[in-house]
Chains A and B, each alone.
Chain A
Amino acid sequence: MAASVSVPERKSEVKRIFENMEYGPAPEASNVAKAWLQQHDNALGHFIGGKWVKPENRKTYDTCSPATGEVLASTTQGEEEDVNNAVSCAKEAFKSWSQLPPHSRARYLYAIARNVQKHHRLIAVMEALDNGKSIRETRDCDIPLVARHFYHHAGWAQLSDTEMRGWKPIGVVGAIVPWNFPLMLLTWKVCPALAMGNTVVLKPATFTRLSALLFAEICHEAGLPPGVFNVVTGNGAFGSKLAMHPDVDKVAFTGSTPVGQTLRRLTAGTGKKLSLELGGKSPVIVMENADLDSTVEGIVDAIYFNQGQVCSAGSKLIVQENIYDDLIARLKERMSHFRLGHSLDKGIDVGAVVSKQQLATITEFVEEAKVEGAEVFHAPVPVPQTGLFYPPTLITKVQTVSRVVREEIFGPVLVALPFRTAKEAQSIGNNTNYGLAASVWSDHLPTALELAISIKAGSVWVNCHNLFDAAAGFGGYRESGFGRDGGKEGLFEYVRPAWEERPRPECKEIDVKSFGSTFGGSIIPAPGQGQPTANDVQQNGIRLPKVDHTYKVYYGGAQKRPDGCYSRPIYAINKQIAAYVGDSNRKDVRNAVEAAHKAAPGWGKRAAHNRAQIVYYMAENLEMRRSEVANRLTQLTGESLESSMREVDLSIQRLFYWGAYADKFGGSVQETQLYGCTVCIREPVGVIGIACPDQNPLLAFVSLFAPAVIRANCVVIIPSERHPIPALDFYQVFDTSDLPGGVVNILSGGRDHVTKYLVEHQNVEAMWYFGSAEGSKFVEHSSAENVKRTWVNYGIQRDWSDPDQGQGEEFLYHATQCKNIWMPMGVTYAN
């Protein structure tokens, strides 16, 4: 006999259900998860150096089940001492872990994957309990992806000697992860970090610490050496302490854009590597030729998955006008079938949101939209009275000006807007500060592909949404961050070039408000500061003054007088004034960036072959001026003529090198678990600001603009401040090499002054800076404002003539950003 229900009761129950055909409770047992917590007296410490560490006199934080409010366990609020302890353990462990043969590291990662699978159900239940998300999702999505990530990266560990030749581990990685996919996102940091030979100190989010701690114990049991992976818990300030610890060599962060910006500012100028996976407002674009019912399900996956608490949530639905009403009607009907409930009920769609604050934020957004006159549709389904629940919501009659359309809500709230044409869909889709993801719904291949390419986002799903796999990098454009989690592209976040040491710049304090702001700060753009070089020629025995040569600034394919109409003296090695060059200011930056953006779409659409031809043509034209340019270099730098000749020849070589790469780095097919094609396209970063160093004024200039340009970026480049003339002479090479105007723009002047306005320009997507430690700090700090990608040298020189340092994968990495396009395929379902 069935035990729990008495016979008469059961009799009436079956009859009643037979009539109304309702769903009943389908609870997942939580006894094992709770037994594990009890094993630890429901009070958890840190996991450091392979053991539980519970320092005395720490505050605690009670972690609760969002579905019921039930307290699950108390956890530790760590203090600085705990960070120090964990980091020093990780640093110690790094010594041996980084030296292990790749095969050994592969075995460890493989063992972790196996152990995750052994404890699959326990982890899934713990995650659902602690986060409030449904057991179905943790069981079928989060945890399988965790195991998959470890398997995949066990492979990268195994192959690291060959696949990552020329790179080495960074050291200690400080990982800070959010609460929406607590274990899965942790894995995205830990796997590549460990595979590449780093050790990790992880800080899970306050709301969701349990799965990370459980996982640390599982890793330990899987045999991972002590100190390789450590978990410390604490509040946000504690996270900052971790990020700022001098022995943390890299900070890997997933979370909100504001916190990411804070971390960027905190770590600016320290020489730490940083990767940020931040927020999003990802569009779901529906074309008239989409399968509408399937699209509706895709929308469910896009925005109601995990209560909408997904950084790549498709929260902005944009629908072609002629199917708008139809689709909205279908969506509303679908929404009437949602089931909300306890995270451990196997039959629910939507669980509780993670916290009271989150619930309040969501509510506030929606109420604001109501006040604006938007139409708010809540799924007409029962909402549990206790626990932190918010019904799936659709907002219509809003436009691009509304906050609900522009900002990330991070809840089950979708906004819908109509559009007329694919072109307009693209504009509305891209009308956002973010660029994490998008989905395109169309059964028409040319439409779907063009949209997928034109949306500026790191992941684009065609006829699907929120698919993830270890073999495809995930990460953003724009204010959604930089760096990728997953795929080979993700490994580069956890390595540095083999020749490079961790920069530990001795950086003076800088005032970011005033840094570089004074025009003429480095040298007064005025005459009377030295002896001009002899300036005459002999013609038929007659001595004549040379025809005056004026160096202007160069943008939009033409020489322009600098906006300020000031010129600064440039000295030759003999201390005489070799020439005056234009001294650029803020407005020249504005104009040059505008010119670059004007050129960018056309340059991007050129066939790669064509870009290569232009760069080869530059080499051809440079060689025609070989001795002239070498002589000039010698005159300016004082290097021997032989050495200058070598610099010119190397520059020609480098142009060939990058010309060769113009059509050989477009991307790859990612071997994800999708039946179909996942294609990684290495897209240009956009408009890149570049500040050149003073050494090798020609070679460094060529080495920096060429990789950017062949990968379809447009650049605004500041030549060497001391020796700008070789770069300025180069615009004659550009003009004779069919380079379209605006692709390379040259602004001579004070490096830090022009840099300031480039890095502060919101429409410059990346800044490469080769100057002082202070300038590097400034660039990193200021880049936080729009989460620019940066590449700085912390005042440390590199040898541009060494191919390891002056060319190679590092340059390609900085010149591109990966977009993964997911294209499911299939029509065959039967015979």
Chain B
Amino acid sequence: MMNPGMELDLGWVQKTTINLPAVERRAATLRTRRTVKKSWQAAWLLRAVTCIDLTTLSGDDTSSNVSRLCYKAKHPIREDLLKAMGMEDAGIEVGAVCVYSSRVPEAIKYLKQAGGSSIPVASVATGFPAGQTPLETRVEEIRRAIKMGAREIDIVISRTKALQGDWQGVYDEIKVCKEACGADVHMKTILGTGDLGTLTNVYKASLVAMMAGSDFIKTSTGKEGVNATLPVGLVMVRAIRDYYHKTGVKVGFKPAGGIRSAKDSCTWLALMKEELGDEWMKNDLFRIGASSLLTDIERQLYHFVYGRYAAAHQLPLA
């Protein structure tokens, strides 16, 4: 279901404060309160795989690495491992492939070649990562990416406006972007949480982004100094919960940047399960923006299946 958004409710946005030390305490024990082992760990890791937005966002992206990424997106885990776990027919593939808009056409092409047309291509847009370009060109980026076949758009908010407390301005811009995305394209809104200064701002930005119609809220571009940390994630998912209670609309969550280990991915899944519930553990409401994470997950699954730790060269490069 798409998020229709709502009028900006500034009273709600302004009234909440977030207490960082208390949030950090919860985040710290989340890691230690929940753990999954053996078959549970394997199943959870496979679920994490299906939630990955397999990403490359670099200046040196070319068709070679985009193609490799797309093939890996379709075949994220070695076939022998899937078979050993009885999961060869479960359709294990990543949630999306995420690239810059110029790389969208080739991503679509290679996914098709790899037999993975079902995997959506997500494009970052709107002056990613800084968002410091005129609104018209930002919106135009969205339109072009969609025209080239992107089914998901990851936009960035104006941190300038957020830091200035111009929540109306933030809301208006996101709304314009949402209109550009239209009814069929999922819009993920990147808050750039590392730039927002306070967790209270993270909460406010989360609410404003949802009110303006974002289908997902996403932590970071991967380019800020601090990216997806659990305290930030906690604040965002709590905002999602508040928004759900108020509107009945389920908005998705995407932590991105810095999630590299298999254990991390289970912790993020546990965060979703604990704070939002099982529904938010599927890729229509949960994505992890990552590139190297997949390798570590595959390594863990190898160990689960064979009882031995894999060498890096034994696992296909993404």
Q: Mark A1-23, 1 if CB is under 8 A from B, else 0.
A: 11111011011111111101111
Pairs across A and B, CB under 8 Å, 30 listed = A2-B304, A5-B39, A12-B86, A15-B90, A17-B40, A17-B43, A17-B44, A18-B47, A20-B278, A23-B34, A24-B38, A26-B36, A136-B32, A289-B17, A291-B18, A291-B23, A297-B25, A297-B26, A337-B274, A346-B35, A347-B34, A347-B36, A463-B19, A676-B21, A824-B21, A827-B20, A827-B197, A830-B193, A831-B194, A831-B195
CA distance A762 to B17 in the complex (A): 42
Decide: A15 and B273 in contact? CB cutoff 8 A: no
Does A829 belong to the interface (CB within 8 Å)? yes
Decide: B18 and A294 in contact? CB cutoff 8 A: yes
**Chain A residue at minimal CB-CB distance from B232:** A829
Which candidate, B116-124, B223-231, B310-318, is the interface stretch facing chain A?
A: B223-231
CA distance A293 to B84 in the complex (A): 42
Q: Mark A493-521, 1 if CB is under 8 A from B, else 0.
A: 00000000000000000000000000000
Which residues in A have their C-beta under 8 angstroms from that of B264? none
CA distance A236 to B278 in the complex (A): 49
Known: A14-B87, A831-B194. Is A2-B26 also a contact (CB below 8 A)? no
11-58 of chain A: CB within 8 A of chain B: 11-18, 20-26
22-60 of chain B: CB within 8 A of chain A: 22-26, 29, 32-40, 42-44, 46-47
Q: Mark A298-336, 1 if CB is under 8 A from B, else 0.
A: 100100000000000000000000000000000000000
Does A450 belong to the interface (CB within 8 Å)? no
108-138 of chain B: CB within 8 A of chain A: none
Known: A825-B21, A826-B20, A829-B199. Is A18-B37 also a contact (CB below 8 A)? no
Does A464 belong to the interface (CB within 8 Å)? yes
CA distance A3 to B38 in the complex (A): 11
What interface size band does chain A fall in?
35 or more
Which residues in A have their C-beta under 8 angstroms from that of B231? 829
CA distance A297 to B16 in the complex (A): 16
Give B5 Cβ to nearest chain A Cβ, in Å.
Answer: 23
Give A592 Cβ to nearest chain B Cβ, in Å.
Answer: 45
Decide: A294 and B86 in contact? CB cutoff 8 A: no
Does A729 belong to the interface (CB within 8 Å)? no
Chain B residues in the interface with A (C-beta under 8 A): 16-26, 29, 32-40, 42-44, 46-47, 84-87, 90, 193-199, 224-226, 229, 231-232, 238, 269, 273-274, 278, 281, 304-307
Decide: A18 and B38 in contact? CB cutoff 8 A: no
8 Å CB contact of B281 from A1, A21, A24: A21
790-829 of chain A: CB within 8 A of chain B: 824-829
CA distance A729 to B17 in the complex (A): 59
**Chain B residue at minimal CB-CB distance from A27:** B37
Does A628 belong to the interface (CB within 8 Å)? no
Which residues in A have their C-beta under 8 angstroms from that of B35? 26, 346-347
**Inter-chain pairs besides A4-B38, A140-B32, 10 sampled, C-beta below 8 Å:** A11-B84, A12-B86, A17-B42, A18-B87, A18-B90, A21-B43, A24-B40, A827-B20, A827-B199, A829-B199
Decide: B307 and A3 in contact? CB cutoff 8 A: yes
Which residues in A have their C-beta under 8 angstroms from that of B23? 291, 294
A-B interface, 6 closest residue pairs, ranked by CB to CB distance from nearest? A11-B86, A24-B40, A824-B21, A17-B43, A294-B22, A830-B226
CA distance A346 to B270 in the complex (A): 14
Give B204 Cβ to nearest chain A Cβ, in Å.
Answer: 13
Decide: A443 and B43 in contact? CB cutoff 8 A: no
Decide: A829 and B229 in contact? CB cutoff 8 A: yes
Decide: B274 and A15 in contact? CB cutoff 8 A: no
Decide: A26 and B46 in contact? CB cutoff 8 A: no
Which residues in B have their C-beta under 8 angstroms from that of A831? 194-195, 197, 224-226
Decide: A294 and B19 in contact? CB cutoff 8 A: yes
8 Å CB contact of B84 from A7, A136, A289: A7
Give B35 Cβ to nearest chain A Cβ, in Å.
Answer: 5
Is chain A's interface secondary structure helix, strand, loop, or mixed overall?
A: loop
Which residues in B have their C-beta under 8 angstroms from that of A289? 17
CA distance A24 to B36 in the complex (A): 6
CA distance A443 to B15 in the complex (A): 12
Chain A residues in the interface with B (C-beta under 8 A): 1-5, 7-8, 10-18, 20-26, 136, 140, 289-291, 293-295, 297-298, 301, 337, 346-347, 349, 443, 463-464, 675-676, 824-831
CA distance A17 to B32 in the complex (A): 21
**Chain A residue at minimal CB-CB distance from B279:** A21
CA distance A290 to B37 in the complex (A): 37
Which residues in A have their C-beta under 8 angstroms from that of B305? 1-2
CA distance A294 to B16 in the complex (A): 12
Give B20 Cβ to nearest chain A Cβ, in Å.
Answer: 5
CA distance A254 to B8 in the complex (A): 55
Give A338 Cβ to nearest chain B Cβ, in Å.
Answer: 10
Decide: A17 and B195 in contact? CB cutoff 8 A: no
Most B Cβ at <10 Å: residue of A14, A26, A337? A14
Give B46 Cβ to nearest chain A Cβ, in Å.
Answer: 6
Decide: B39 and A24 in contact? CB cutoff 8 A: yes
Which residues in B have their C-beta under 8 angstroms from that of A18? 43, 46-47, 87, 90
8 Å CB contact of B24 from A10, A26, A826: A826
Decide: A829 and B86 in contact? CB cutoff 8 A: no
Which residues in A have their C-beta under 8 angstroms from that of B46? 14, 18
Most B Cβ at <10 Å: residue of A13, A18, A136? A18
CA distance A635 to B229 in the complex (A): 80
Which residues in B have their C-beta under 8 angstroms from that of A828? 20
**Chain B residue at minimal CB-CB distance from A290:** B19
CA distance A140 to B32 in the complex (A): 9
Which residues in A have their C-beta under 8 angstroms from that of B85? 10-11, 14-15
Most B Cβ at <10 Å: residue of A5, A20, A22, A676? A22
Which residues in B have their C-beta under 8 angstroms from that of A7? 84
Which residues in B have their C-beta under 8 angstroms from that of A140? 29, 32
Which residues in B have their C-beta under 8 angstroms from that of A13? 39, 43
CA distance A291 to B199 in the complex (A): 11
**Chain B residue at minimal CB-CB distance from A25:** B37
Decide: A291 and B17 in contact? CB cutoff 8 A: yes
Which residues in B have their C-beta under 8 angstroms from that of A290? 19
Decide: A827 and B43 in contact? CB cutoff 8 A: no
CA distance A539 to B40 in the complex (A): 106
CA distance A830 to B269 in the complex (A): 23
CA distance A829 to B227 in the complex (A): 11
Which residues in B have their C-beta under 8 angstroms from that of A11? 84-86
Decide: B26 and A23 in contact? CB cutoff 8 A: no
Give A427 Cβ to nearest chain B Cβ, in Å.
Answer: 25
CA distance A305 to B289 in the complex (A): 34
Which residues in B have their C-beta under 8 angstroms from that of A15? 43, 85-87, 90
CA distance A290 to B22 in the complex (A): 11
Decide: B281 and A463 in contact? CB cutoff 8 A: no
CA distance A332 to B39 in the complex (A): 31
Which residues in B have their C-beta under 8 angstroms from that of A464? 21-22, 25
Give A577 Cβ to nearest chain B Cβ, in Å.
Answer: 68
CA distance A443 to B194 in the complex (A): 22
Which residues in A have their C-beta under 8 angstroms from that of B226? 829-831
CA distance A676 to B199 in the complex (A): 17
Give A509 Cβ to nearest chain B Cβ, in Å.
Answer: 55
Most A Cβ at <10 Å: residue of B16, B19, B35, B238? B19
Decide: B307 and A24 in contact? CB cutoff 8 A: no
Give B138 Cβ to nearest chain A Cβ, in Å.
Answer: 23
Known: A291-B17, A349-B33. Is A301-B44 also a contact (CB below 8 A)? no
Decide: A463 and B43 in contact? CB cutoff 8 A: no
CA distance A825 to B22 in the complex (A): 9
Give A159 Cβ to nearest chain B Cβ, in Å.
Answer: 30
CA distance A136 to B30 in the complex (A): 11
CA distance A22 to B41 in the complex (A): 10
Decide: B20 and A829 in contact? CB cutoff 8 A: yes
CA distance A22 to B90 in the complex (A): 18
CA distance A829 to B236 in the complex (A): 14
Which residues in B have their C-beta under 8 angstroms from that of A12? 86
**Chain B residue at minimal CB-CB distance from A288:** B15
Known: A18-B87, A347-B34, A827-B198. Is A23-B21 also a contact (CB below 8 A)? no
Give A708 Cβ to nearest chain B Cβ, in Å.
Answer: 37
